[in-house]
Amino acid sequence: MPSKKKTQTSSNGDNRKLFMFLEELSWLLSSYSDLNLKTAIKDLRNKLLHELDAAAAIGSYASPNPNKQFLVGVLPRVLNDEALFPTNEDISDFALSVMRVRIPRFHKKSKYELIGHIVCQTNDLDEKGLSKLVDALATLTGGDERVKKLIRQRKDQNFGWNAIIQELAAGPVNEQRNNN
């Protein structure tokens, strides 16, 4: 059984903490006296419930595969890069060679339509197709100016996207060998 003196000291310490807490709480409440706490709590509860409902509704559309979620966010940014894909034909060739997605009449569509088509097709890719696409994007975006220079060179020489990606994946040693 604890001694009476120790309990009393502990109780005094707790009382002091409680007093300090109440003093700070009082100051805080008086600082925001113009705030209607009941209304604020009600509004916050309603907003939180609305967000939970929206998240549940959106969640039913979310892909169970995190790679697909990631790609849907990354693809538009990469495909919009004028240095990598200056023409609709470049985007169409990339989609065909990397994803095996043919885009009919690509020359009559806007760049945004092409990108939207590719993003939607990404959802239907199997694991092998996703891996190939992720590897291709990583290769294309992994070397800044060196990559863009090599892509421009190879496109001028009519290299297809598969050849360009394979050459980029081979690394800088292969690029130096081909330039000599």
The 10s digit of each residue's pLDDT in 130-175 is: 888 888 887 777 666 777 777 777 777 777 777 777 777 666 534 4
Residues 6 or more apart in contact with residue 140 via CB below 8 angstroms: 78, 84, 147, 151, 165, 168
Domain membership flag for residue 39:
no
So what's the pLDDT on residue 112?
92
Domain membership flag for residue 148:
yes
Mean pLDDT (whole number) for 116-138? 85
Counted domains in the chain = 1
Q: Is the pLDDT assigned to residue 105 strictly greater than 70? A: yes
Residue 84: Cβ within 10 Å count: 18
The 10s digit of each residue's pLDDT in 55-92 is: 555 555 556 676 676 777 788 888 888 878 888 998 99
Domain membership flag for residue 18:
no
User: CA 74, 75, 79 angle in degrees (round to 5)?
Assistant: 125
Domain membership flag for residue 99:
yes
So what's the pLDDT on residue 57?
55
Domain membership flag for residue 14:
no
| Residue that wins the pLDDT comparison between 20 and 142 | 20
Tell me the residue range of the domain where 155 lies.
66-179
**Model pTM score:** 0.55
**pLDDT category of residue 180 using cuts at 50, 70 and 90:** very low
CB-hemisphere CA count at 13 Å for 151? 23
So what's the pLDDT on residue 1?
54
**pLDDT category of residue 97 using cuts at 50, 70 and 90:** confident
Residues 6 or more apart in contact with residue 150 via CB below 8 angstroms: 143, 164, 167, 168, 175
